[in-house]
Amino acid sequence: MKSSRSKKKEFLFGSFVYPYNLIRQDRRTLSLTVTPDLQIYVRCPHDATEERIEIFLKRKWYWLERQLNFFGKFQCKQYKKEYISGEGLYYLGRQYKLVVKRAGEDNVLLQKGILTVFTTHSVADGNYTEKLLGEWYRIRRERIFSEQLRVAASRFEYKSTPTLVIRDMKRRWGSFVNKDKIILSPKLIHAPKDCIEYVITHELCHMRYKNHDKRFFTFLDEKYPRWEKVKDRLEMVGALI
């Protein structure tokens, strides 16, 4: 399943000009998203006309303006993480405050909205803290992705379940390979569980239908009826992590 590349466009409404990112992807409806850093994303089917997109944006103008005003008050700019106390890290769709403490033994603990890293190195050693967090995320990825594969696979009547592989992918959340392997992006651990389940369900549908044709989407509707809303939320997470 592709996390599609975007094209820069502009929406004109009266005296207002709104630069936005147009993403054409495998979907049937249009969606509009405003991220906390004031980026505007319009997602549409591959065959959506410019006129259809324009009408959609005009209908959404009031909502768009409200979202921009809201996030404008609390604009958060993306920056390279230093892995020091006070930073925010995402895990299963929720942002947690990072606290780094010096200790006699390395450990990572998630409790009451705080992600605490106990380190034997200096609390200013961001590289070592990142290494500890990387291992913590790895263990949870393997367990949670496997759990969600079992949940998703239970909706199907396949004789076997594909092997799960976790691998970095530039523009994909997941991929289905040769009827026996599903590849998932490690970044999915930052998304809510239903997003992880959706990506796996999407790839499992490819066991029956290789292409994104009408039969595929009918099958996906049957196995995961609310997939379009979940996909929109996944793309929102993708813009934040």
Q: How does pLDDT run across 29-59, given as a tens digit for each residue?
A: 999 998 878 889 999 999 999 999 999 999 9
Domain count, the chain: 3
Higher pLDDT, 1 or 77: 1
Domain shared by 101 and 128, yes or no: yes
Q: What range defines the domain where residue 97 resides?
A: 88-139
- Kindly state whether residue 1 falls inside one of the protein's structural domains: no
Res. 78 pLDDT band, cuts 50 70 90: low
Q: Percent of the chain beyond pLDDT 70? A: 94
Q: Are 183 and 167 in contact (CB under 8 A)?
A: yes
Q: Are strands 181-184 and 31-34 parallel, antiparallel or unpaired?
A: unpaired
CA atoms of 15 and 170, how far apart (whole Å) = 38
Residue at 50 is within a domain: yes
The sign of the dihedral angle between the CA atoms of 57, 61, 63, 64 is: positive
pLDDT band at 172 (very low <50, low <70, confident <90, very high): confident
Whether residue 175 is contained in a domain is answered as: yes
132 to 102, 109, 144: CA distances (angstroms): 13, 11, 19
Task: Answer yes or no: is pLDDT of 164 > 60.
Answer: yes
| 158 and 132 inside one domain | no
190 and 110 share one domain: no
* Residue 149 shares a structural domain with residue 194: yes
232 and 172 co-located in one domain? yes
Indicate if 133 and 147 belong to the same structural domain.
Answer: no
Q: Strand runs (DSSP E) across the chain, as ranges? A: 7-13, 16-25, 31-34, 40-45, 88-91, 94-102, 107-111, 114-119, 163-166, 174-177, 181-184
- Outline where 74-205 has alpha helix (H): 126-153, 193-205
Are residue 160 and residue 131 in the same domain, yes or no? Answer: no
Helix axes 193-205 and 227-240, enclosed angle (nearest 10): 120
The model scores a pTM over 0.75: no
Examine the fold and report which residue of 122, 139, 156 is the final residue of a domain before the chain moves on: 139
219 or 211, which is more confident: 219
- Whether 178 is in a domain gets the answer yes
- Name the average pLDDT for the chain: 89
Same domain as 234, residue 156:
yes
Evaluate whether residue 80 is within a structural domain: no
End-to-end CA gap in the chain:
18
79 domain residue, yes or no: no
Among candidate residues 241, 232, 183, 196, the one with its CA nearest the CA of residue 23: 232
Query: Which pLDDT score, from 0 to 100, does residue 231 have?
Result: 86
